[in-house]
Amino acid sequence: MQDKITEQIKHETEKLVKDLNYHCYRYYVLDSPVISDEEYDRLYFHLKDLEDKYHYILPDSPTQRVGAPPLDKFEKVKHTEPMLSLDNAFTYNDLEEFDKRIKRLLKSDEDIEYTVEPKYDGLAIELTYRDGLLFKASTRGDGYEGEDVTRNIKTIRSVPMKIGGVGIIPEEIDIRGEMYMDISEFEKLNKDRENKGEPPFANPRNAAAGSVRQLDSSITASRKLHLACYGMGAIKGINFHTQYEFIQWLKKARFPIPDITEERGIEKVMHAVKEIEDKRVGFKFETDGAVVKVNDFGLQKQLGMKTREPRWAVAYKFAAHQGITKIKDIQGSVGRTGVITPFAIFEPVRIGGVTVSRSTLHNWDEMERKDIQIGDTVVVERAGDVIPHVISVIKEKRTGREKPFPVPEKCPVCGSTVLREEGEVAFRCIGLNCPAQVQEKIFHFASRGAMDIEGLGEKNVELLYSKGLINHFIDMYRLKKEDLLQLPRFAEKSSQNLIDAIEKSKHTTLARFLYSLGILHVGEYASKQLAKNFENLENLYHIKPGQILKIKQMGDKIAHSVSDFFNDRENLHILKTLKSLGLKLTNPDFEGEEKQIKPLDNLSFVITGTLPKPRNEVEDLIESLGAHTTSSISKNTSYLVVGTDPGSKLRKAESLGVKIISYTELLHLIEQKK
């Protein structure tokens, strides 16, 4: 039931929202927090408690960033002003030509003032703010019409829910920018995907685009995305004179912005462009160029646009770090989950200061698409700090002696059958005792994010395995110092260190342990979600997929994989043995009894009209299943339950697009979610 709200509660809620948003800005935009994560969480949960109790939820509350149910499809959004693309310049001569054209069009001999910014390699986004509040976020699409990704974008903490920090709040403003992923985050994500047996993203741009264009916003929330705002679309109620002034306003209004400089004359522009190019290897994100814009908005207007690009801007593209080399051989490597990944061995080549001698070819679909064969001469690229990859084959260099590398029928390591599961890109070795898989599993078990056993890197795992000391991660807990002392790289101290590290690893958290097990499709994120929802390991024994599907973040694939794992006799035996060998798990992630998943968790209901049962009984039923009921409709209402003689709430729900259901449909919904 809803408690009565006082002015003091309203004031407290408003202050919490304001403070939390400020701390979000300090953390995610400025990268300089002023309170600890624990303090932030304390304030957040206090706000959440107040909101749950009094239902006074401000539209810019940080609690409104997450928790929206998945969509069936994206709605289309028409951009008020088209989202243009950019003309490219590849040489300094092209930049000089660009400058000459502008002077000619403006009939000016004077040096033009430009701005220079890095070009982010991500996904263009338009953020529409109405009266200062984030109203809609859309992708660029074809430039005229994009997709509504508001729910997803709201989960990204560096995107302000409300314009803050400035005096005048425009009535309406379309702010444009690029959503991108840092290189380190991209590599972490890909490693995690490979660990889970999922195909990796080809580059940070695809990873960012794939993360934003998700029907389930909780997936977007789990990816660390960044924003850089560099432009505007339609505006009402505010005026800017220059690009530089606009970017400074964005900065004050707490938006993340690119490094921008003002340069008079094309000579200085070329200098600034060169400076970005020199610095780019140190950037955390990938950039393939610099964007040069005429600074003055009045001049921009005079210059106008061509069909798809403005005449007042150009993207200077940096030369990618590329090299040409020959593929000496292609081989298949077998990962922890049995996935076979083809990789190329090159004649070593220097690219951007680094010697490259091998690179992954990702999978056979990709290899076929690029028609890569052994003996081919290929273009290899290192973009930023990203792992090198083959861009294309130089077909003219073919001699006729090239050989394709077909999918192996047998595992290259253990000779077991290789299969491709329906709908999957990957081919897998199905051998349970495949040495490659076994070693990768042990290595994964001991790795940093998992049981974190220092001293058990790939080399030592290989050594212990080859000497027959470990065949499974469980064997580690039976290792004795004497066993290690016989090995080539182990002396008294190093042996003791490893034994101590193994002993220490016995005390860990449930989330880490679940991740260590290397269950198919279960990475760090899914392990954390499981730990949040299951108090201890034993609660997962003999679990059914349906019980896991009640966790909002879990899909079918994970649910079945986890269920298969915890219903396998051999696996359960291993877990029990580990416990008897001293494994002790704590679970700080568990969200407590009252937060245990209930079928209607995170939903809100409003009732109107007369129902077949007394209204308070229906409300009690809904609330006992984890949802809350309120008396008034808002856009945050999940369902309006309609009885006979409905009141004005019905019309309001229709206008807000809130789902409307009958009492019988409510009962169905409960059954379905159970």
Instruction: Report 120-159 residues binding ligand IVH (CB under 6 A).
Output: 120, 124
Instruction: Detail the DSSP E strand segments found in 156-310.
Output: 172-180, 226-236, 261-264, 287-294
User: Candidates 3-11, 307-315, 449-457, 553-561 — which segment interacts with ligand IVH by CB under 6 A?
Assistant: 307-315
CA gap 601, 554 in Å, rounded = 14
Nearest CA among 323, 332, 294, 330 for reference residue 311: 294
Q: How far is the CB of 95 from ligand IVH (least distance, A)?
A: 16
Backbone angles phi, psi at 333, to 5 degrees: -110, 145
Q: How far is the CB of 188 from ligand IVH (least distance, A)?
A: 23
231 touches ligand IVH (CB under 6 A): yes
The one among 235, 247, 313, 543 contacting ligand IVH by CB under 6 A: 313
204 touches ligand IVH (CB under 6 A): no
Residues 6+ apart with CB under 8 A from 131: 169, 171, 172
Q: Which CB atom, from 176 or from 336, has the smaller least distance to ligand IVH?
A: 176
| Count of beta carbons in the 10 Å neighbourhood of residue 292 | 27
256 touches ligand IVH (CB under 6 A): no
Please give the single-letter amino acid code of residue 488: P
CA gap 372, 392 in Å, rounded = 8
User: Candidates 78-86, 573-581, 622-630, 641-649 — which segment interacts with ligand IVH by CB under 6 A?
Assistant: 78-86
User: Candidates 100-108, 113-121, 357-365, 649-657 — which segment interacts with ligand IVH by CB under 6 A?
Assistant: 113-121
Q: Which CB atom, from 62 or from 310, has the smaller least distance to ligand IVH?
A: 310
CA gap 139, 307 in Å, rounded = 20
Q: Residue 355: beta bridge partners?
A: 350
Residue of this chain nearest to ligand IVH (CB atom): 124
CA gap 35, 23 in Å, rounded = 7
Query: What is the chain's alpha carbon radius of gyration, rounded to the nearest angstrom?
Result: 29
CA gap 175, 236 in Å, rounded = 12
Q: What is the DSSP letter of 26?
A: I
Instruction: Report 157-186 residues binding ligand IVH (CB under 6 A).
Output: 178
- Report how far apart, in Å, the C-alpha atoms of 306 and of each of 40, 79, 85, 105, 309 are: 48, 18, 10, 13, 5
Q: Which CB atom, from 170 or from 231, has the smaller least distance to ligand IVH?
A: 231
Contact mark string toward ligand IVH, 278..297, x via CB under 6 A: -------------x------
The one among 170, 197, 258, 342 contacting ligand IVH by CB under 6 A: 258
End-to-end CA distance of the chain: 23
User: Candidates 23-31, 79-87, 393-401, 415-423 — which segment interacts with ligand IVH by CB under 6 A?
Assistant: 79-87
The one among 29, 84, 414, 559 contacting ligand IVH by CB under 6 A: 84
Which of 15, 78, 119, 480 does the annotation list as catalytic? 119
Q: Which CB atom, from 160 or from 258, has the smaller least distance to ligand IVH?
A: 258
The one among 55, 65, 79, 119 contacting ligand IVH by CB under 6 A: 119
Q: Which CB atom, from 204 or from 258, has the smaller least distance to ligand IVH?
A: 258
Please confirm, yes or no, whether 459 is among the known catalytic residues: no
Q: State whether the Cα torsion 407-413-417-423 is positive or negative.
A: negative
CA gap 51, 61 in Å, rounded = 10
Q: Which CB atom, from 113 or from 117, has the smaller least distance to ligand IVH?
A: 117
342 touches ligand IVH (CB under 6 A): no
250 touches ligand IVH (CB under 6 A): no
The one among 16, 77, 86, 153 contacting ligand IVH by CB under 6 A: 86
Residues 6+ apart with CB under 8 A from 271: 263
Q: Residue 119: beta bridge partners?
A: 289
85 touches ligand IVH (CB under 6 A): yes
Q: How far is the CB of 308 from ligand IVH (least distance, A)?
A: 9
233 touches ligand IVH (CB under 6 A): no
CA gap 283, 306 in Å, rounded = 32
**Which residues are identified as catalytic?**
119
Binding site for ligand IVH (CB under 6 A): 84-86, 117, 119-120, 124, 178, 230-231, 258, 291, 310, 313, 315
